[in-house]
Structure 1
Amino acid sequence: MFLPIDNVPRDYAWGSRSDIAELRGVEPSGAPEAELWLGAHPGSPARILDPAAAGGARDLAEWIDSNPADAGLAGPRLPFLLKLLAAAEPLSLQAHPSLEQAGAGFARENAEGVPLEAAHRNYKDAFHKPELVVALSEEYSALCGFRAVGETRALLSSVDDGSAPLAALAASLGDATSPDADVLRTTVDALLRGRLDGVVEALVDACRSALATGAARDAAPVLRTITELSDSYPGDPGVAVAFLLNRVTLTKGEALWLPAGNIHAYLHGFGVELMASSDNVLRGGLTPKHVDVDELLDVLDFEPLPVPILRPIDGGAGVEVFRPDVPDFELLRVDPSAASSTPIVLPGPAIAIVTSGAATLEASTRIDLATGDATYIVPEGQPIRVSGSGELFIATTYLDR
């Protein structure tokens, strides 16, 4: 069963004014268009374009609530949320809790009587929010995860101008005998609580000077990122925290995997994002929104890691599968022109969107999709066959096998 869906883009201030509209083939609204949500999350459930086909339901949340079995679900909740995400400016520095942390935090704030929509509430639901993003633009830049502290010490040394604040930052970063995770926890704590006086301004000045003189040339993208973040958020301690993180630029078709506890911020670019259906975000800066330092420090994973690029596995001719180590979701990237001989067996309900060209999906019924068109899929025990041209993404789940 194919059920065409659509939605209205979210107008967050950091959003692009053109990317989502151009992909959908519509006139830009004139406002930022940051995210297009395709799922059943109550914050912005996808609209059903033919309510009669869904028993009169107007959106996916209403349809699933009324009869989850019709939607192909074993329970009352679609466990994933598919998005188009278009960032013209950096998003907040953030991390997401594990399933256990989310459940405990949600119960605790409920018991404390914190209103669900309160600006200072951390946990809006009891679910985790791991996520992955695949670049649609030629470049997609982000900060994600802590780099090895030794690399940060070397980077700081290459721009150090001898100022007292940078000396204090260097002291906080310890030496080669100090465990990286302990050093990072202590340093992030000190930065976010303002215990390293003047370090943000001194660090930004040092990065500007190094860029102007050509020092630390190999690190220019990192230094430029620090100065650009400072231009948008002057004095924000998140600027200094960003100095501790991996900076990555994806090329079109590459994917980034962000598990629970990974500190990250998307900087610029257009992509397809897939996540567990949750709204739990712990922020660490680069935002006017609530920052709860204690809760963030409890959630963060301070172990350094390489950039978590998620490599696809072969799903058959014309099909790449991005499969992280959670059962909530996987993402298929399909070339319809090459996939006509590949039956796609979906483990659960799915949502598909065409990001270029046009695609035909066939099972017991058939649907034709143009660029920007999306559909909800109930597999009904049959493989899906795809034909056409361009690029198609299909999000699905293993939680309802």
Structure 2
Amino acid sequence: MFVEITNEPRDYAWGSTTLIPELLGVAPDGRPQAEIWLGTHAGSPSRVVGRDGDLRDLVGELPFLLKILAAGTPLSLQAHPTTAQAQEGFARENAAGIPVDAPHRNYKDPHAKPEMIYALSEEFRALCGFRPVTETRTVLDAVRPGLLPGLRADADLPATFEWLLSGHPDVAEVVAEVTAIARDADGDSWATVRLLAAHYPGDPGVVISLLLHTVVLAHGEALYLPAGNIHAYLSGLGIELMGPSDNVLRCGLTPKHVDVPELLRIVDFTPVADPRLAPATADGLAVFAPIGAGWELLESRGERDLDADAPALLVVLDGEADAEGMQVAAPGFGAAADARVRLDGRVVIARAV
């Protein structure tokens, strides 16, 4: 089975007005277009072109969700739970009688939500993971040595993070000071502070960003965001691949509910040296395969056959993909199962492992 699929862009306020239309080769309509969901998630299952019903009718429920994501402004700082944390939290909130759609509910389902982002724009900017405190101190001390005096070692990260989310009056003063410093400071970290302060003035996430890696992905590079990883997408167009879950715990850059105690339970404060996900090469394919995620992203260039023994989703960026008399030309989206698909051009494939 090989079919063409489609879906309507979702108009979240942070979406870009131009990036998805440019990808699809259509005129912008002036509205923000944030995401196109590709898959079987009940929130927005893909439609099958030329048929009634949606993709669930053909392949059942996929164990992953793929999105075309276009960030025009920064998204909220957030983290996702492990499977065990999601199961416990979902059961606890059910027992407490909290409606699943309540704005203060943390766990919408009992599943983890590992995710990765693969850059389609020439530059995709994100915050991802705590960096070693020695790196943060180098950035801070170059402009204001006394800033965040309690942050001296990696072990200080949990207390510093908790204090920044405490609502203490001194936090507002630090946010204002950091915002002022950033106006004349150089480097990616300070560029991120300026961006966040412009969109979320006074938010503690402005300072939290200095604890994290500012990552600038080039076209074709990727990030992996495992459970417990604090992250936020800042700008750019990418392919996001994730577990089919809605569990999000926010910690800043948002007017939505922030549950600090629950957030502190799930955040992983272990610093990471470099959060980028390097691809392996197999049979001429670039393979992005995060350990334990349960899915992988493949990039194919040129001509080849793809054996889709299990359901796979295809994003045809250049050229075409065809099988069983069906052709999906760029820019377009396809779904395959129990089929050999001929690829010619640049195609990105998501599949379970």
Structure 1 residue 282 and structure 2 residue 277: aligned?
no
List per-residue Cα deviations over 1:248-273 (Å, max 9, x = no partner).
Answer: 10100111111111111111111111
Q: Is the 8 A contact 1:106 1:124 kept in 2?
A: yes
Structure 1 residue 80 and structure 2 residue 55: aligned?
no
Q: Is the 8 A contact 2:4 2:328 kept in 1?
A: no
Quote how far apart the aligned CAs of 1:173 are.
Answer: 0.6
Flag the structure with larger Rg. Answer: 1
Structure 1 residue 173 and structure 2 residue 165: aligned?
no
SS at match of 2:251: strand
Task: Supply the distance in 1 between the matched residues of 2:315 and 2:138 (Cα, whole angstroms).
Answer: 44
Structure 1 residue 208 and structure 2 residue 183: aligned?
yes
Write the mapping of 1:312-327 to structure 2, written as runs, cut at 5 A: 312-317=279-284, 319-327=285-293
Structure (1 or 2) with the greater strand fraction: 2
Write the mapping of 1:333-372 to structure 2, written as runs, cut at 5 A: 333-335=299-301, 338-340=302-304, 343-346=305-308, 348-355=310-317, 357-362=318-323, 365-372=324-331
SS at match of 2:315: strand
**Aligned-partner residue type, residue 295 of structure 2:** F
Which residue is equivalent to 1:298? 265
Q: Is the 8 A contact 1:92 1:284 kept in 2?
A: yes
Structure 1 residue 59 and structure 2 residue 54: aligned?
yes
Q: Is the 8 A contact 1:3 1:50 kept in 2?
A: no
Task: Supply the distance in 1 between the matched residues of 2:29 and 2:151 (Cα, whole angstroms).
Answer: 47
1:309 aligned residue (263, 266, 276) = 276
Task: Supply the distance in 1 between the matched residues of 2:290 and 2:64 (Cα, whole angstroms).
Answer: 13
Pair 1:150–1:161, CA change in 2 (3 A) = closer
SS at match of 1:301: coil
Task: Supply the distance in 2 between the matched residues of 1:366 and 1:269 (Cα, whole angstroms).
Answer: 35
SS at match of 1:227: helix
Q: Structure 1 stretch 149-158 or stretch 183-192: which is displaced more?
A: 149-158
1:122 aligned residue (92, 95, 106) = 106
**Aligned-partner residue type, residue 360 of structure 1:** A
| TM-score normalised to structure 2 length | 0.95
**Aligned-partner residue type, residue 343 of structure 2:** V
Write the mapping of 1:118-157 to structure 2, written as runs, cut at 5 A: 118-157=102-141
Structure 1 residue 185 and structure 2 residue 151: aligned?
no
Structure 1 residue 32 and structure 2 residue 32: aligned?
yes
Quote how far apart the aligned CAs of 1:43 are.
Answer: 1.3
Task: Supply the distance in 1 between the matched residues of 2:325 and 2:130 (Cα, whole angstroms).
Answer: 46
Pair 1:267–1:327, CA change in 2 (3 A) = closer
Task: Supply the distance in 1 between the matched residues of 2:181 and 2:93 (Cα, whole angstroms).
Answer: 42
SS at match of 1:236: coil
Task: Supply the distance in 1 between the matched residues of 2:84 and 2:336 (Cα, whole angstroms).
Answer: 30
Quote how far apart the aligned CAs of 1:204 are.
Answer: 1.4
Which residue is equivalent to 2:347? 392
Task: Supply the distance in 1 between the matched residues of 2:349 and 2:5 (Cα, whole angstroms).
Answer: 14
List per-residue Cα deviations over 1:208-251 (Å, max 9, x = no partner).
Answer: 24x2xxxxx4xx21112112211111111111111110111010
Task: Supply the distance in 1 between the matched residues of 2:62 and 2:266 (Cα, whole angstroms).
Answer: 25
Quote how far apart the aligned CAs of 1:44 are.
Answer: 1.1
**Aligned-partner residue type, residue 181 of structure 2:** A
Which residue is equivalent to 2:9? 9
Q: Is the 8 A contact 2:12 2:33 kept in 1?
A: yes
* Structure 1 unaligned spans of 5+: 64-69, 212-216
Q: How many residues in Structure 1 have an aligned counterpart in Structure 2?
A: 351
Q: Is the 8 A contact 2:116 2:242 kept in 1?
A: yes
SS at match of 1:154: helix
Tell me the percent identity: 48
Q: Is the 8 A contact 2:106 2:248 kept in 1?
A: yes
SS at match of 1:159: coil
